[in-house]
Amino acid sequence: MHEWLVNYGFYSLFLLSFLAATLLPLGSEWLVVTLLIGGQNPVAVVMVATAGNYLGALSTYWIGLYGGDFLRRRVLRMDEATTLKAERFYERFGSLSLLFSFLPVIGDPLCLVGGVLQVGFIRFSLLVLTGKLARYAAVAWLTLEGAAL
């Protein structure tokens, strides 16, 4: 599997980055590092990984947006009072947490909650894209700095 992912380069990176931003427990940083060490263009690697990861997060956001009522009532078992309280809190503080959507374990649920609580598409996109771009840029920078030593 490792060889297949490396051999298909940018296609693999996009797919793995996309899947890593869904609720599946995957990571794409290792492939970013592998491609950079292999001499791929750093800007292209960061852009492909960011695009795939953003679109994966967007799919999770849409699941929350369109399945929100079911998720809120049946899965999370939230009544109306709890829902209103959560919405007020998230409107005040929570949407900025989408900057941290790149973090393992909590990042994917943040995108799901962003959809459930109907964070605006543009706000969601700006915050998530910023966080994901910063993460992949940091991975690329650290990889290239480490390779230069």
pLDDT tens digit string along 24-51? 778 899 999 999 999 999 999 999 999 9
Give the mean pLDDT of the chain: 86
Using the predicted structure, report yes or no on whether residue 146 has a pLDDT greater than 90: no
pLDDT band at 15 (very low <50, low <70, confident <90, very high): very high
The arithmetic mean of pLDDT across residues 117-124, rounded, is: 92
Query: Which is nearest to 34 in space by CA: 63, 68, 2, 64?
Result: 2
Q: What is the pLDDT of residue 1?
A: 58
- Residue of higher predicted confidence among 52 and 86: 52
Domain residue spans of the chain: 2-148
Which has more pLDDT, 60 or 52?
52
pLDDT at 84: 74
Distance CA 47, CA 66 (A): 28
Q: Are 149 and 78 in contact (CB under 8 A)?
A: no
> Is the pLDDT reported for residue 75 higher than 80?
no
> What's the helix, strand, coil split of the chain in %, to 5?
80, 0, 20
pLDDT at 86: 65
pLDDT at 59: 92
Whether pLDDT at 92 is above 80: no
